[in-house]
RNA sequence: GGAGAGAUGGCAGAGUGGUCGAAUGCGGCGGUCUUGAAAACCGUUGUACCGAGAGGUACCGGGGGUUCGAAUCCCUCUCUCUCCGCCA
């Protein structure tokens, strides 16, 4: 959510910047500004009326104490009109506030200056390309066939237990999952992230804080009986750790990492790249989150991109980093780098990480503030997060790229975690 | 699932209709004292909005009501805790 005052002070900037996101904000911004001045006018009137009311009430109290009943009763009569006015001001005031909030929630975050103009994925900018694309045999298998051949993942069994998109990992497939999770968590810890194990189910306030609600309500599984949501990413509970808090500037940045299962309904995405591990309803992911000082958040973003790069490099996967264009970047992000690894049998780039700076967009919803030493006024912090990494597509690429006639080779860094070097 | 208790400032914890944005203690910050530190003592210490400022307003879990006036009374919702039952 953009800051109300910021919009008020920079309406043209907001409209101009949102054009990059292909969002025409002129109407909404105009309405917000009108409502804002109306709101202030009303508040001035309401506050004045309330001040008078408070004054009279105090006087009445004193008069009663002194036993001047008649004067007190006379004073009472003066209040009825005031009371009515206050009631009306308050009603109008909260109606306007509600309207403003409804409009505010419609505005996406402003894109960073470096976000390229564009309509969709095809306009994303490749900023890095690294690693060698392996030359596989003609008869190389896609990962879903490899998974079956080596009994690593049972998709049909998942359908029996739950439904499509809920695979059962078994044997070395299951061990490989565990190895990756531990590897990712260890790497994050070495990079200074504190590990946390958050709940996998969150309440409405948390969903709102990071921006899943109300915008992407249909994306999450909703536990209706308790009005709770299964998390689509650990970003939600981990970032919400910092909801409604005021931090000391000297303690920034806060760095957390968490492994979690992630649940996504993926409504409406059937038929598109859904084979095998490409798109699931439940998957594992290690997430990194940072709460940063606004002046340092882009440095932090770079650091996070480097961290994720190091992970795919250690796994010896060919990858590229994309700077998302205005048409592809999310509603909440100011700047996002996507990581894609090449899955050599499918001959496809698969997104395995998305690293974003949300600036103060989430912080404003979260009421996540910090205070500079000696300064009374609080400021909104910046939030950032990234996948480091999402497992399924990493597994897909590992299986496909490392297949040999003797089996599937495990990258060196993972061997201490898997305790086997080859899947055969 | 059954029964009960509760929700107040960073924490603990008073406050049952007016002078309460809220006692007191702890913690934090500043100071006095000290070679330094501790102790002791003194002062200070919530957030947000409006206003050029003086200042004003709101907030004692959320919403509504009674009243000239509500942290305090009433209704309602949510959450937390304790005990019992069941269970990992």
The two three-digit tokens of residue A298, written as one number = 């882009």
A41 CB contact with strand B at below 7 Å: no
Q: Which is nearest to A155 in space by CA: A140, A143, A138, A172?
A: A143
Q: Report the C-alpha gap between A423 and A223 in whole angstroms.
A: 39
Q: Report the C-alpha gap between A411 and A397 in whole angstroms.
A: 12
A151 CB contact with strand B at below 7 Å: no
A228 CB contact with strand B at below 7 Å: no
CA of A78 to C1' of B24 (A): 39
Burial (CB count <10 Å: 0-12, 13-18, 19+), residue A381: buried
Res A268: pLDDT: 67
The two three-digit tokens of residue A83, written as one number = 């009371």
Per-residue model confidence as pLDDT tens digits over A153-205? 999 999 999 999 999 999 999 999 999 999 999 999 999 999 999 999 999 99
Res A363: pLDDT: 94
The two three-digit tokens of residue A148, written as one number = 């079956």
Q: Which nucleotides of B are covered by protein (CB under 7 A)?
A: 18-19, 47-51, 55-58, 64, 68-69, 79
Q: Report the C-alpha gap between A247 and A187 in whole angstroms.
A: 26
CA of A296 to C1' of B51 (A): 33
Question: In which residue ranges of chain A is pLDDT below 70?
Answer: 268-272
Q: Report the C-alpha gap between A395 and A416 in whole angstroms.
A: 17
Average pLDDT, chain A: 93
Per-residue model confidence as pLDDT tens digits over A82-136? 888 898 888 888 889 889 988 999 999 999 999 999 999 999 999 999 999 998 8
CA of A246 to C1' of B26 (A): 21
Q: For residue A18, give the DSSP letter.
A: H
Across-strand partners of A169?
Answer: A153
Q: Which residue has the tokens 């809920």?
A: A166
Residues 6+ apart with CB under 8 A from A391: A177, A180, A181, A283, A284, A285
Q: Report the C-alpha gap between A247 and A300 in whole angstroms.
A: 17
Q: Report the C-alpha gap between A85 and A80 in whole angstroms.
A: 9
Q: Report the C-alpha gap between A384 and A379 in whole angstroms.
A: 16
CA of A204 to C1' of B59 (A): 22
Q: Report the C-alpha gap between A117 and A112 in whole angstroms.
A: 11
Q: Which is nearest to A370 in space by CA: A290, A310, A276?
A: A290
CA of A60 to C1' of B59 (A): 24
Q: Which residue has the tokens 């008869």?
A: A139
Res A270: pLDDT: 66
Across-strand partners of A353?
Answer: A339
Res A271: pLDDT: 63
- Answer whether A336's CB lies under 8 Å from A324's CB: yes
Structural domains present in chain A: 4-104 (1.10.287.40), 121-423 (3.30.930.10)
- Answer whether A303's CB lies under 8 Å from A335's CB: no
Q: Report the C-alpha gap between A283 and A232 in whole angstroms.
A: 9
């Amino acid at each position: 959510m953009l800051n109300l005052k910021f919009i008020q002070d920079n309406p043209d900037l907001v409209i101009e910047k949102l054009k990059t996101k292909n969002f025409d904000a002129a109407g909404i911004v105009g309405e917000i500004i009108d409502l804002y001045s109306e709101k202030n006018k009303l508040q001035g009137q309401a506050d004045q009326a309330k001040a008078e009311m408070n004054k009279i009430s105090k006087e009445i109290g004193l008069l009663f104490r002194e036993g001047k009943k008649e004067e007190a009763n006379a004073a009472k009569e003066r209040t009825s009109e005031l009371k009515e006015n206050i009631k009306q001001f308050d009603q109008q005031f909260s109606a306007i506030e509600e309207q403003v909030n409804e409009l505010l929630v419609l505005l996406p975050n402003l894109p960073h200056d470096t976000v390229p103009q564009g309509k969709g994925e095809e306009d994303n900018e490749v900023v890095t390309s690294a690693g060698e694309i392996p030359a596989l045999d003609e008869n190389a298998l896609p990962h879903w066939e490899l998974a079956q051949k080596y009994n690593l993942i049972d998709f049909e069994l998942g359908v029996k237990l739950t439904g499509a998109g809920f695979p059962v990992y078994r044997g070395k497939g299951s061990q490989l999952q565990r190895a990756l999770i531990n590897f990712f968590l260890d790497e994050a810890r070495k990079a200074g992230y504190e590990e946390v194990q958050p709940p996998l189910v969150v309440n409405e306030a948390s969903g709102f804080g990071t921006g899943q609600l109300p915008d992407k309500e249909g994306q999450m599984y909703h536990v209706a009986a308790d009005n709770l949501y299964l998390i689509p990413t650990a970003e939600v509970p981990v970032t919400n750790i910092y909801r409604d808090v005021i931090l000391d500037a000297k303690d920034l940045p806060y760095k957390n990492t968490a492994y979690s299962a992630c649940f996504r309904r993926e409504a409406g995405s059937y038929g598109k790249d859904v084979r095998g591990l490409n798109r699931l309803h439940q998957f594992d992911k290690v997430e990194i989150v940072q709460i940063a000082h606004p002046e340092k958040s882009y440095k932090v973003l770079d650091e996070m991109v480097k961290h994720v790069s190091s992970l795919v490099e250690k796994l010896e996967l060919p990858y590229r980093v994309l700077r998302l264009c205005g048409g592809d970047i999310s509603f909440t992000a100011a700047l996002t780098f996507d990581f894609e690894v090449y899955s050599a049998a499918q001959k496809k780039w698969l997104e395995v990480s998305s690293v974003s700076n949300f600036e103060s967009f989430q912080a404003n919803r979260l009421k996540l503030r910090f205070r500079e030493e000696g300064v009374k006024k609080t400021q909104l912090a910046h939030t950032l997060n990234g996948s480091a990494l999402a497992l399924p597509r990493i597994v897909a690429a590992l299986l496909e790229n490392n297949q040999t006639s003797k089996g599937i080779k495990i990258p060196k860094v993972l061997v201490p975690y898997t305790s086997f070097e080859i899947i055969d």
